[in-house]
Structure 1
Amino acid sequence: MPFFLIRNDITKMETDAIVNAANTALLMGGGVCGAIFKAAGVHEMTEACFPLSPIKTGEAVITPGFALPARFVIHTAGPVYHNGKSGERDLLQLCYHNSLLLAVEHHCSSIAFPLISSGIFGYPKQEAIEVARSTIEDFLAEHEITVSLVLFDKESLLAGTKLHTSIEHYIDEHYLRKHKEVRELLTIEAMGLGNIEESQSVLHEPNIEQALSHLDEPFSDSLRTLIQSKGKTEVEVYKKANIDRKLFSKIRTGGGYVPSKRTVIALAIALELTLEEADNLLEKAGYALSHSSISDVIIEYFIVHKHYKILEINEVLFSYDQPLLGSQ
């Protein structure tokens, strides 16, 4: 099952379970905790939490969701950040792992987390999201559950990091939307086109039906060949691609189904394709990477640099307000 970053109010998430960044006493607090108590019903949630308290840092317990859209609320107590050398990372990992285990034990197919300990508990946001991502990624390698991490401050994810600086430089060099008019005029001149209608016709990308009519083999066959040639299993590929098992089965079966561009890119990332190989796979589905799309330029950056962790790529796409890779 896939993992997604979402900007939303966690109390409005229609998932089987949401996670409360609780205190060890399981009392109504401020921030996310206070919002969840209020949305669920303060009296009902307080009564449900009372016999379960206190809990230790890193532990997780479950209650009904009451008036929330979610069926359950999983309460976990995150660590207070001191210096990063007092076991905070291990405790934060336990928060995510124990919450996920509890969700699976109660047959939840979906769960939404806040960024635990990143508020008044002082955990640096960039470190907090890295702990969340790596812990959730490890869990999803063995379990089937859709996970959402609900965030509000997208700017804090990359700001000031070496990755952010490197990506900004790559975008400045390769992103062509701001030069679109100049590029189109140069293209028209180079092709000897004399009027706007002709130029628009040439520059317009062919639709999927036109593109597919020129393909040598179905996309599903090309995908099967690539999986075998890369020595990977199908389960490994769809999990690394952040794709739902049912969608992957639909793609794999064929029958003329053509996946979306972002799904094809996700498969290319999971297969650790070179840029040329990724271009070929996209062409099989009637797509192409474009330097007039900031999303495509970011994806190209990761492929060129052989950085194939899709959840990290999605963090960058999220910070630039771009669609994430994979499927829900």
Structure 2
Amino acid sequence: MPFQIVRNDITKMQVDAIVNTANPMPGYGAGIDSAVYEAAGKDKLLAKRHEIGAIYKGTSVITDGYNLSAKFIIHTVGTAWQGGKAGEEDIIRKCYRSVFDVAVNNNISSLAIPLLASGSYGFPKGIALRIALSEIEAFMSESDMDIYLVVFDEKSVSLSSELYGDIDEYINDNYVEEKNQEEYPDSNGRNERVVQRSESFAGGLASNGAAPTFSKANKAARKDEEEMLSDVCLSAPILEEERSLDDVVNNLDKTFMELVFSFADAKGLTDVEVQKKANLDRKAFSKLKCGTTKNPSKSTALALAVALELNLDDTKDLLSRAGLALSPCSKQDVIVQYFIEKKAYDIYEINLALFEHGEQLLGTQV
């Protein structure tokens, strides 16, 4: 998986290298810097930093990982936010680029990087995330390195709401499961039976992985609720976009991947461009292309639809070739539909929104 957003302690990431937000002079400060020194073994790491000496803003150096699971630590030095008029953004962009250069020069295949400048340096979270996503995306367009953007808490990520302020309102208006919980609550304020049925419809599982059970007295109610939810899911508003009859007829006999390549050819995209834009690694894409994997997972199918910048109608057509469909009972589907309707096809921003809402990222599995 080329790029993922994860919530974790970066010192616990099992990767080739982690990135540390370092002080320019030997020594360590609060936050990630201190945590890295403690986990790696501060005596050895501090001795190495004294050996290296000063690190200039926007540059990076590499050391051993010592006691960390990671083999290496890439130390980069940023700058504090001063209102955006002192070239701060350029310095942080140079940090990302220098980190990637060091990683490539040291044959790093997997890298965990924090959200640079969002902590003690005081960058607004939206700006810090914008910089991170654009620099990572630019690098990933020419690299197959596995990159993890590591955030420590929920407050670290808030870009989707800043970019698209109405996304939560859209989800509330279109996500059937939440509507049923609001309209048909039980004595505890939630509808247990409807929730379980909705999760099953969306392809999920109950928390214990077991099917829901009901007493004899509840069987009739269960049947009614299942029929009700099925009707609601099937009739919930999924906006249609018009397609020509010729488009529909000419594509009737195409398989999933044949239709992918048909769309790619029409849009002038190479196989590599589609793979990169879908956030898929080469092996996963190759398996689909060669037919080793006949039908993709939902997240991969949606990732390819986003990569091809398909409209909603074409997205539905593509999904149907893999036996899949958009469902208003799936929050992942509703979020992706939101971006498609906005014609916002940046998979990094879409995955950030999915991450914020606890949904599986696009392109994470075949």
| TM-score clears 0.5 | yes
Alignment-derived partner of residue 109 in structure 1: 109
The alignment partner of 1:308 has SS state of: coil
After TM superposition, list the pairs within 5 Å mapping 1:150-299 onto structure 2: 150-158=150-158, 161=161, 163-180=163-180, 200=226, 203=230, 216-255=253-292, 257-299=294-336
Report the Cα offset of residue 238 of structure 1.
0.8
Alignment check: 8 A CA contact 2:161 2:167 kept? no
The aligned counterpart of 2:50 is 50
Quick check: 1:126–1:156 contact (8 Å CA) kept in 2? no
Residue 322 (1) aligns with residue 322 (2): no
Q: CA RMSD in A?
A: 2.6
Alignment partner of 1:120 is 2:157: no
Contiguous gaps of at least 5 residues in structure 1: 186-193, 206-214
Partner-residue secondary structure (3-state), 1:262 = helix
Q: Distance in 2 between matches of 1:159 and 1:301?
A: 15
Residue aligning to 1:89: 89
Of the structure 1 ranges 81-90 and 158-167, higher mean CA displacement relative to structure 2 is found in: 158-167
CA contact (8 A) 2:264 2:270 kept: yes
Q: Distance in 2 between matches of 1:26 and 1:137?
A: 31
Q: Secondary structure at the match of 1:148?
A: strand
SS in 1 for 2:20: strand
Give the letter aligned to residue 364 of structure 2.
S
User: Would the aligned equivalents of 1:218 and 1:256 in 2 still touch at CA under 8 Å?
Assistant: no
Judge conservation of contact 2:125–2:159 (CA < 8 Å) in 1: no
Matched, 1:32 2:32: yes
Between 1 and 2, higher relative CO (CA 8 Å, sep ≥ 6) is seen in 1
Distance of 1:230 and 1:76 partners within structure 2: 39
1:327 shift after superposition: 2.5
Q: Which deviates the most, 176-185 or 21-30?
A: 176-185
1:242-266 C-alpha deviation (Å, 9 max, x unpaired): 1111100011111453211001100
Farther off after superposition, 32-41 or 172-181: 172-181
Partners of 1:251 and 1:324 lie apart in 2 by 19
The farther-off stretch of 22-31 and 5-14 is 22-31
Counting matched residue pairs gives 311
Q: Aligned partners of 1:11, 1:256: CA distance in 2, in Å?
A: 35
- Deviation of the 1:153 alpha carbon: 3.2
Q: Contact 1:244–1:327 (CA<8 Å) still a contact in 2?
A: no
Residue 338 of structure 2: which of 298, 301, 312 is its match? 301
String of CA shifts for 1:71-118, please: whole Å, max 9, x gaps: 110000111111111010000001111001100111111101111121
Q: Distance in 1 between matches of 2:22 and 2:122?
A: 14
Partner letter of residue 152 of structure 1?
F
Query: Which letter maps to 1:177?
Result: E
Determine the C-alpha separation between the residues in 2 that align with 1:179 and 1:161: 21
State the Cα deviation string for residues 113-170 of structure 1 (Å, max 9, x = none).
1111211111111111110110111111122211111012334533795544211221
Query: How far did residue 269 of structure 1 move?
Result: 0.2
* Runs (5+) with no aligned partner, structure 2: 185-192, 195-219, 234-251
Distance in 1 between the 2:55 and 2:158 partners?
33
Closer, same or farther: CA 258–76 of 1 in aligned 2, 3 Å: same
| 1:156-201 deviation digits (Å, cap 9, x = unpaired) | 533795544211221122111133487999xxxxxxxx99659858
Question: Aligned letter for 1:287?
Answer: L
1:310 aligns with 2:347: yes
% of aligned pairs identical? Answer: 42
TM-score by length of 2: 0.79
Note if contact 1:224-1:252 (Cα within 8 Å) is conserved in structure 2. no
CA distance in 2, matches of 1:177, 1:79: 45
CA spacing shift, 1:178–1:86, aligned 2, 3 Å? same
**How far, CA to CA, are the matches of 2:3 and 2:292 in structure 1?**
27
The DSSP-based 3-state class of the residue aligned with 1:112 is: strand
- Partners of 2:287 and 2:293 within 8 A in 1: no
After superposition, the Cα gap between the structure-2 partners of 1:278 and 1:112, relative to the gap in structure 1 and judged at 3 Å, is: same
- 1:14 touches 1:69 (CA, 8 Å); kept in 2? yes
Letter in 1 for 2:125: K
SS of residue in 2 equivalent to 1:147 = strand
Name the CA distance, whole Å, in 1 between partners of 2:58 and 2:113: 14
Counterpart CA distance in 2 for 1:199 and 1:86 is: 60
- For 1:296, give the aligned amino acid: D
Contact map agreement 2:160 2:352 (CA 8 A) in 1? no
What is the TM-score of this pair, normalised by structure 1?
0.87
Conserved 8 A contact 2:39-2:67: yes
| 2:78 is aligned with 1:41 | no
The aligned counterpart of 1:188 is: none
Output the CA distance in 2 between the equivalents of 1:155 and 1:119. Answer: 11
